[in-house]
């Protein structure tokens, strides 16, 4: 079977679904391939930044998910048992101020439903891209395996939104020369019952010498824990049995010790995330372009993956739609200019987020007493200065917003 379309999107995560929705709203036809069946994704990005919330509003899906979203009001860092930073998001001068926790299946369903209502989006699920269709050096679509056999999707442009291990990146050769940097840490994820004494509207970072953990409120009433371990250190952690895992949690959050012992009964109650970043020199080739983690894998610090995927989708859609609307004879050049403009527009924000993440990773990992004391002093200085808080956190949480323009942003989102 062969399907012809304007754009083939490979990957049905937040970036792929958002791009499909944005494109059909602009009158373009889309075929979306999703390898998984359904939308269940364990320990996938649930944290949506204030700027991500703004983007969802612009896509017309914020109200669809509002009742399922959990607003976060504070970011709290505790180092060596002392509170060193307490950021209040409502003090920031932006239209959209609060991050939200939003289960990824809810977000994906809302994006899919909005695209279906708009029309013009065909979803093949499950479907696995196994080959790119070529016309000389130009990618002209995808050959995919589905339950009903092999399908050829003929498309003017193919978008790889298929994540950190992108098959489109590999098949197209775009990934050749990419810089993959292994961070010094991996993350073990798990969930526990939420402590009654904790503020449910707060993100928590707990640091003890060179160890740290993230404690994030989930929409299902639990606390999502990202326990940082040395790179490749899972075997060493598991060699000590679950008692060692319980002890690591208790070291950072004594309030959770009893719940950890009672609830974490098997290593299957945890999930490992291998932490690395990937820098792809060029995000496109003739007829194909990458977005999200496929183009620029980030670490989980400050929850940037979902937000950059959404920002990529919103930036790319009008550029592709504009190129596709022109004369067919000019299409190859128009698409090349569109995807180059897209990368130029987005790579600065990605670079700033990556640099901030790496700085935080290094800060969290300091273990020598003088270095740890310096870290606490830095956080206390940021805590005492609203201007420093804006300077440090604005690139991560508010990259698409400008201070003092709340009313204008709200009016813009209402018109979109």
Distances (CA, A) of 301 to 151, 213, 216, 242, 337: 38, 10, 12, 25, 33
Domain-located, residue 115: yes
Domain-located, residue 46: yes
The confidence score (pLDDT) of residue 302 equals 65
C-alpha 392/C-alpha 351 separation (Å) is 14
Q: Are 302 and 357 in contact (CB under 8 A)?
A: yes
pLDDT tens per residue, the chain (416 residues)? Answer: 999 999 999 999 999 999 999 999 999 999 999 998 654 555 566 899 999 999 999 999 999 999 999 999 999 999 999 999 999 999 999 999 999 999 999 999 999 999 999 999 999 999 999 999 999 999 999 999 999 999 999 999 999 999 999 999 999 999 888 888 777 889 999 999 999 999 999 999 999 988 999 999 999 999 999 999 998 899 999 999 999 999 999 999 999 999 999 999 999 999 998 888 888 999 999 999 999 999 998 877 666 889 999 999 999 999 999 999 999 999 999 999 999 999 999 999 998 888 888 888 888 888 899 999 999 999 999 999 999 999 988 888 898 898 875 434 433 333 33
Domain with residue 163: its CATH number is 3.50.50.60
Domain-located, residue 385: no
Q: In 3-state terms, what secondary structure has residue 286?
A: coil
Q: Are 96 and 57 in contact (CB under 8 A)?
A: yes
Domain-located, residue 9: yes
C-alpha 215/C-alpha 222 separation (Å) is 10
Pull the structure tokens for residue 203.
């993100």
The confidence score (pLDDT) of residue 246 equals 97
The number of folded domains in the chain is: 2
Q: State whether 197 and 329 are in the same domain.
A: no
Helix, strand, coil % over all residues of the chain, rounded to 5: 45, 25, 30
Domain-located, residue 86: no
Q: How many CB atoms lie within 10 A of CB 3?
A: 17
Domain with residue 236: its CATH number is 3.30.9.30
Q: In 3-state terms, what secondary structure has residue 122?
A: strand
Distance, CA of 91 to chain centre = 25
Q: State whether 341 and 211 are in the same domain.
A: no
Q: Which domain holds residue 33?
A: 2-71+96-181+278-369+395-415
Q: State whether 35 and 155 are in the same domain.
A: yes
Q: State whether 67 and 214 are in the same domain.
A: no
Q: State whether 147 and 66 are in the same domain.
A: yes
pTM of the complete model: 0.92
Domain-located, residue 343: yes
Q: State whether 288 and 188 are in the same domain.
A: no
Domain-located, residue 62: yes
Q: Are 338 and 320 in contact (CB under 8 A)?
A: yes
The confidence score (pLDDT) of residue 42 equals 55
The answer for 82, left when phi > 0, alpha when psi is -120 to 50, beta otherwise, is beta
Final residue of a structural domain among 216, 242, 273: 273
Q: State whether 335 and 402 are in the same domain.
A: yes
Q: How many CB atoms lie within 10 A of CB 113?
A: 13
- Identify the residue whose tokens are 């970043």: 277
Pull the structure tokens for residue 217.
């409120």
C-alpha 21/C-alpha 300 separation (Å) is 25
Q: State whether 297 and 400 are in the same domain.
A: yes
Q: In 3-state terms, what secondary structure has residue 247?
A: helix
C-alpha 168/C-alpha 8 separation (Å) is 11
Non-local (6+) Cβ contacts of 391 within 8 A are none
The confidence score (pLDDT) of residue 415 equals 34
Final residue of a structural domain among 273, 304, 339: 273
46 CB burial (10 A radius; 0-12, 13-18, 19+):
buried
Q: State whether 244 and 311 are in the same domain.
A: no
CA nearest neighbour of 70 among 98, 102, 41: 102
Q: State whether 200 and 174 are in the same domain.
A: no
Domain-located, residue 87: no
C-alpha 286/C-alpha 140 separation (Å) is 9
Q: Are 99 and 227 in contact (CB under 8 A)?
A: no
Q: Are 158 and 20 in contact (CB under 8 A)?
A: no
Q: State whether 232 and 301 are in the same domain.
A: no
Q: State whether 234 and 162 are in the same domain.
A: no
C-alpha 99/C-alpha 398 separation (Å) is 10
Final residue of a structural domain among 246, 273, 300: 273
Q: In 3-state terms, what secondary structure has residue 344?
A: helix
CA nearest neighbour of 33 among 171, 165, 151, 175: 151
Strand partners, 277: 181
Q: Are 129 and 167 in contact (CB under 8 A)?
A: yes
């Amino acid at each position: 079977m062969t399907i012809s379309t304007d754009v083939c999107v490979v990957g049905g995560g937040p970036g792929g679904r958002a791009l499909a929705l944005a494109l059909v709203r602009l009158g373009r036809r889309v075929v979306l391939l999703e390898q998984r069946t359904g939308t269940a994704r364990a320990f996938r990005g649930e944290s949506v930044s204030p700027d991500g919330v703004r983007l969802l509003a612009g896509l017309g899906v914020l109200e669809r998910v509002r009742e399922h979203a959990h607003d976060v009001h504070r970011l709290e860092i505790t180092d060596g048992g002392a509170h060193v930073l307490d950021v209040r998001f409502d003090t920031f001068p932006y239209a959209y101020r609060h991050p939200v926790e939003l289960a990824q299946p809810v977000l994906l369903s809302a994006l899919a439903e909005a695209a279906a209502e708009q029309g013009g989006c065909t979803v093949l699920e499950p479907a696995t891209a196994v080959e790119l269709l070529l016309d000389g050096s130009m990618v002209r679509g995808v050959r995919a395996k589905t339950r009903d056999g092999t399908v050829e999707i003929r498309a003017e442009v193919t978008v790889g939104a298929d994540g950190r291990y992108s098959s489109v990146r590999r098949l197209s050769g775009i990934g050749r020369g990419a810089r993959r940097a292994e961070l010094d840490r991996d993350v073990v994820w798990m969930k526990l019952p939420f402590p009654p004494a904790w503020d449910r509207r707060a993100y928590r970072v707990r640091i003890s010498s060179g160890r740290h953990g993230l404690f994030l409120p989930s929409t299902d009433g639990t606390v999502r824990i990202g326990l940082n371990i040395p790179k490749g250190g899972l075997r060493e952690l598991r060699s000590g049995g679950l008692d060692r895992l319980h002890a690591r949690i208790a070291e950072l959050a004594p309030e959770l010790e009893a719940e950890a012992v009672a609830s974490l009964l098997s290593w299957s109650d945890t999930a490992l995330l291998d932490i690395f970043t990937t820098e792809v020199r060029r995000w496109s080739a003739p007829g194909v372009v990458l977005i999200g983690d496929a183009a620029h894998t980030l670490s989980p610090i400050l929850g940037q993956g979902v937000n950059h995927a959404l920002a990529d989708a919103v930036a790319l859609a009008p550029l592709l739609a504009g190129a596709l609307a022109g004369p067919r004879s000019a299409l190859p050049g128009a698409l090349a200019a569109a995807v180059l403009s897209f990368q130029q527009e987005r790579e600065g924000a990605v670079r700033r987020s990556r640099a901030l993440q790496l700085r935080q990773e290094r800060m969290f990992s300091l273990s020598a007493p003088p270095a740890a004391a310096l870290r606490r002093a830095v956080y206390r200085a940021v805590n005492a200065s609203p201007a420093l808080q804006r300077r440090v956190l604005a690139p991560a949480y508010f990259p698409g917003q400008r201070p003092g323009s709340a009313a204008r942003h709200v009016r813009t989102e209402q018109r979109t």
